[in-house]
Structure 1
Amino acid sequence: MLLLSLLLIVAPLVLRVLFPHLWTDLVYHTELLRILLKFVSRRRRRPLFLALDRFLEQVETRPNKAFIVFENKRFSFKDADRESNRIANALRVASVLRPGDTAVLFMQNEPAFVFCWLALAKLGCACALLNSSIRARSLIASVRCCRGASVLIASEELQGAVEEVYEDLLQEGLTRIFITAEELRSSHMKSLIRAAQESSDADVPQTLRASVSFTSPAVYIYTSGTTGLHKAAVINQTRLLAALAVLASNGVTDSDVIYVTLPLYHTAGFLVGFMGSIETGSTIILRRKFSASQFWDECRAHNVTVIQYIGEVLRYLCNTPQRASDKEHAVRLAIGNGLRSDVWREFLKRFGHIQVREFYASTEGNVGFVNYAGKIGAVGRVSFLHKKLFPCALIQYDTEHDEPVRNSRGLCVEVPKGQTGLLVSKITEIAPFVGYAQNEQQTEKKRLRDVFKHGDVYFNSGDLLKIDHDNFIYFQDRVGDTFRWKGENVATTEVSDIISMLDFVEEANVYGVQVPGHEGRIGMAAVKLMDGVEFECKKTFDHVCRFLPIYARPRFIRIQVKFSLSVDITATFKQLKLKLVEAGFNPSMTTDSLYFLCERERTYVSLTPSIYQQILSHSIKL
């Protein structure tokens, strides 16, 4: 009896020492299995059960509960249902959309964004979510990704951007343009608000969605990935149904209030914030744009319990002046990605005990990880069950030649624990890779064949990660011609093409450089000028502001005279680019002329040692 008592006391202690994460692993995997069973059950329902149907369930069970709070307006689940019915019926009366069609949403964060998506889903239509920051050439290129779309719906504030490219939009087949405003700037556009006000709020017939299947496109979310210009990742109905579980799997319930400041046109805002709230029945506090100065005041005013973030968001919060009320809030959970370890520690120290759920995922990818154990710096934890359900591995990658290392049999080589490798995930029925709309070439680039045996196919994430000996996984870097700034992927190919349009530029090489104290990398361009011409600062500033969104505009330009950029994409080119990245924007590292994009003076100015030091000290904000 004494021996049994000792055993009962000692055994848990031994298990805790030998398997410190046993309990959290058990809880997480139990929840994972529950979610999978729920997903399978929903897939078997007839008629088909889609993400929209979950919203309609919430309308039935909690019609008067607040669904969206925006500025001084409150919309219940029933309100959202009625508003989306009016929009859907207005579009039906105008005969601009048929089931199976695609519409383009070019909108900022506002309730109308949510209502429009619900309306399109009720009509059996898909929609493309355009980044509201893009303009001109980038806008047209994004529209072109979704050939066949005939309707564009834009926010009131974006009328000018639409009007600027109206003729181009017509050529792309967008013959009907609706604006969420009563007063319009052009006769070419129609007021969606007036059309909706004049329409019925009667339920949209379910027969309009009868042809929708699990493989039907639901939304197109744009990503630059690692292979050039923005591409429209296809999120089908199955993927959307699976996305419902993200918040619920992290303990979010209908009693939670979620603060959504990230853009709804992005994966995080749309799939995690919006879709997650549809599943849980929680309330969304929707903000047009993130504001560090008002963040905590609004959290307190609305009793926010869950916040979303990208790494930059929490860093901005940590950089605000300290206040006595920093820990006076109801926030218990922060969910997002891209959080640096030092910012993570500072955030917890300053704002109190908040559970941080860092995760790893990509818009088009077929694998993801969640750091459910709370290990600072990790993006997740690898387990036997996870790898059985979603087979993935880290393989050796040659960064100089931009390709995986292969052995004598032509197969890839898995890296041991503790070493950095390229994340690849097997494409299976449970972990499919749908690809990009109208772009089979780029879709095929993301498929990696003959990985561990001849004939197998894996998704190439384009990301380098590392797994430690405790099975925690850490993000290291991205590969390919892209970098991340302000939470956005910047395609170097696109920026290079834009700069090369300038008549005094012969060639441009774009890359990202690190700035101390900032997440990701900021854009820099090494430019070779035409013979006998000078760099035109003002003209370059106006050009990049016209054609590129704010996050993609190169903040630094280097006028390169020593080397020609006319080299093949070989090891020589890679070495040259690496040297440029290492030199960064430090004037003391080169004799080339350097320029800085100065928003206050609205031109590029000479990058002096003084300006360089002001950037490092954060006196100049980027």
Structure 2
Amino acid sequence: METFSDKIRQASSEPIPVDVRSNVRLMSPAVYIYTSGTTGLPKAAVLTHLRLWNLSFVQSTFGVSSTDVFYLNLPLYHTSGLMAFTGTIERGSTLALRSKFSASHFWDDCRKYNVTVIHYIGETMRYLCSTQKRPSDRNHKVRMAIGNGVRADVWREFLNRFGHISVKELYGSTEGNIGLSNYTGKVGAVGRVNFFHKWLLPYAIIKYDIEKEEPLRNSEGFCVEAATGEAGLLISQISQKAPFIGYARDPKQTEKKRLHDVFVKGDQYFNTGDLLWIDEENFIYFQDRIGDTFRWKGENVATNEVSDILTTMPSIQEANVYGVKVPGQEGRAGMAALRLKEGEPFDGTGTFRHVSRYLPAYARPRFIRIQNCLTVTGTFKHRKVKLVEEGFKPDEISDRLYILDDKDKCYVPLTQRMYDSVVSGMIKL
């Protein structure tokens, strides 16, 4: 590793000579941004100057102006933080930049710097809602929140507690060639089907086989669009208007994200790796990532939905849901890593009663793991890969483990003897 700050101090303060950038075009690489690595190793996505400009114009589409004060506490090495940063440059607005997110200092900072626009991602809003309530919760000038990944229940709680703030939910990925925005403010949606947008940048939600981990194709070998209300894989056509550059020096991973002969011979689409669905009013909702959704008892289980249900329990602070392999069983059984609220014990009977009330039998976590903290990425996305690999082995995991007991209607401690009985098939899941 080489230092960078000392080289910056030695650099000339004179404008960069024109000849240095004479060969730079809109499609030239501008930056490398590493993906989160939630379902594998991070990869360096190539962002062109054109893409960087497009990201920088997002704030203008929502009405952010030069008079706004934008509050940012996300890492600048990731797309969301960089987009917010370059957007304030494009707008000419003021940026209040914090080195690290702090839920306890968030609103104090907003009041101190007269913040009018905030940026969020993943669990940011839920962290804010979990702080102790104060009389000053609505005493601020924030009028707008821009970001992605807020759940519908947290969205409502955030507005009820902190006042009327216009939430602009986005959908997109670092390397992707498609972006959606909830311009109507519909709680829970990431966008709405817009004829002009779809005509200009064609995309579709297609049927997807969770078990085989591939799109469903008809007798002619072409993909089939998902029905209204049916979750499917979001794909976006690769074209000159919507190019897919891929990953730096990694053609194999780049090709993995391309789908060929989707609707006609020779066409190409970008595989977002995300499952979304459209309601009868044409609003679009995010359901889960392909790697996160799993199949159990012949049914598809969306980890986000199970997490949402678990975190509505008063004692549960965070929930990270995933599927684990069980010897001799088809598919993967649901497991949840939980972080409890400070001072709260795990209530096995209450948790059983809660999941039984709100979740069908196949979606109820068969195993629960209690952790002091859940591992997240720099942008607050839960990491699952290691948890999936570790499974539910009591002799290898120091955290408390529980198993769902249908007979006693409770989650009971998972012992080594019980684990052996599950593996041998004596205990039926």
Letter in 2 for 1:416: A
Separation (CA, whole Å) in 1 of partners of 2:238 and 2:214: 19
Matches within 5 A, 1:297-336: 297-336=108-147
Give the deviation of 1:606 after TM superposition: 4.6
Counterpart position of 1:408: 219
Q: Secondary structure at the match of 1:422?
A: strand
Alignment pair present for 1:385 and 2:196 = yes
Question: Which whole-Å deviations, capped at 9, do the CAs of 1:452-482 have from their partners, x for residues lacking one?
Answer: 1111111111111011111100001110379
Q: Which of 365, 368, 371 does residue 585 from structure 1 map onto?
A: 368
Counterpart position of 2:48: 236
Give the deviation of 1:265 after TM superposition: 0.9
Percent of matched pairs sharing the same residue: 53
Letter in 2 for 1:178: T
Give the deviation of 1:585 after TM superposition: 2.1
Counterpart position of 2:267: 456
Q: Which of 68, 72, 78 does residue 266 from structure 1 map onto?
A: 78
Long gaps (5+) in structure 1 = 1-161, 163-176, 181-190, 484-510, 527-561, 565-571, 597-603, 614-622
Distance 1:216 1:453, change over 3 A: same
Separation (CA, whole Å) in 1 of partners of 2:199 and 2:172: 18
Q: Which of 23, 26, 37 does residue 211 from structure 1 map onto?
A: 23
C-alpha contact 1:514 1:584 (8 A) present in aligned 2: no
Structure 1 stretches of 4+ moved >3 Å? 224-228, 511-515, 522-526, 578-582, 604-609
Give the deviation of 1:579 after TM superposition: 5.2
Alignment pair present for 1:422 and 2:233 = yes
Q: Which of 193, 209, 218 does residue 398 from structure 1 map onto?
A: 209
Give the deviation of 1:342 after TM superposition: 0.9
Letter in 1 for 2:332: K
Counterpart position of 2:314: none
Give the deviation of 1:416 after TM superposition: 1.7
Letter in 2 for 1:270: L
Give the deviation of 1:578 after TM superposition: 4.0
Letter in 2 for 1:577: R
Q: Which of 476, 484, 495 does residue 287 from structure 2 map onto?
A: 476
Distance 1:209 1:283, change over 3 A: same
C-alpha contact 2:45 2:174 (8 A) present in aligned 1: yes
Distance 1:252 1:595, change over 3 A: farther
Counterpart position of 2:343: none
Separation (CA, whole Å) in 2 of partners of 1:467 and 1:451: 20
C-alpha contact 1:467 1:473 (8 A) present in aligned 2: yes
Distance 1:266 1:199, change over 3 A: closer
Q: Secondary structure at the match of 2:146?
A: strand
* C-alpha RMSD over aligned residues: 3.0
Counterpart position of 2:349: none
Long gaps (5+) in structure 2 = 295-302, 312-316, 337-364, 371-390, 404-410, 413-429
Counterpart position of 1:220: 32
C-alpha contact 1:595 1:606 (8 A) present in aligned 2: no
Q: Which of 232, 256, 263 does residue 445 from structure 1 map onto?
A: 256
Q: Secondary structure at the match of 2:123?
A: helix
Distance 1:215 1:179, change over 3 A: closer
Q: Secondary structure at the match of 2:332?
A: helix
Give the deviation of 1:179 after TM superposition: 4.6
User: Taking structure 2 as the reference length, what is the TM-score of the superposition?
Assistant: 0.73
C-alpha contact 1:447 1:458 (8 A) present in aligned 2: yes
Separation (CA, whole Å) in 2 of partners of 1:334 and 1:594: 45
Separation (CA, whole Å) in 1 of partners of 2:201 and 2:395: 47
Matches within 5 A, 1:450-529: 450-480=261-291, 514=307, 516-517=310-311, 521=320
Q: Which of 98, 102, 109 does residue 287 from structure 1 map onto?
A: 98
Counterpart position of 1:363: 174
Separation (CA, whole Å) in 1 of partners of 2:60 and 2:218: 43
Bigger proportion of residues as helix: 1
C-alpha contact 1:594 1:606 (8 A) present in aligned 2: no
Q: Secondary structure at the match of 1:416?
A: coil
Separation (CA, whole Å) in 2 of partners of 1:470 and 1:434: 33
Counterpart position of 1:246: 58
Matches within 5 A, 1:28-427: 162=1, 177-180=2-5, 191-192=6-7, 196=9, 199-223=11-35, 228-271=40-83, 273-427=84-238
Give the deviation of 1:211 after TM superposition: 1.6
Q: Secondary structure at the match of 1:241?
A: helix
Distance 1:451 1:605, change over 3 A: closer
Give the deviation of 1:205 after TM superposition: 1.3
Give the deviation of 1:230 after TM superposition: 1.4
Distance 1:232 1:482, change over 3 A: farther
Counterpart position of 1:21: none
Counterpart position of 2:382: none
Separation (CA, whole Å) in 2 of partners of 1:443 and 1:591: 34
Give the deviation of 1:595 after TM superposition: 6.4
C-alpha contact 1:224 1:482 (8 A) present in aligned 2: no
Separation (CA, whole Å) in 2 of partners of 1:595 and 1:444: 37
Distance 1:301 1:439, change over 3 A: same
Q: Secondary structure at the match of 1:372?
A: coil
C-alpha contact 1:312 1:519 (8 A) present in aligned 2: no
Separation (CA, whole Å) in 2 of partners of 1:389 and 1:243: 17
Separation (CA, whole Å) in 1 of partners of 2:318 and 2:284: 19
Separation (CA, whole Å) in 2 of partners of 1:595 and 1:337: 36
Question: Which whole-Å deviations, capped at 9, do the CAs of 1:81-105 have from their partners, x for residues lacking one?
Answer: xxxxxxxxxxxxxxxxxxxxxxxxx
Give the deviation of 1:224 after TM superposition: 5.2
Letter in 1 for 2:210: T
Separation (CA, whole Å) in 1 of partners of 2:333 and 2:125: 30
Separation (CA, whole Å) in 2 of partners of 1:204 and 1:327: 46
Letter in 2 for 1:521: N
Separation (CA, whole Å) in 1 of partners of 2:110 and 2:197: 35
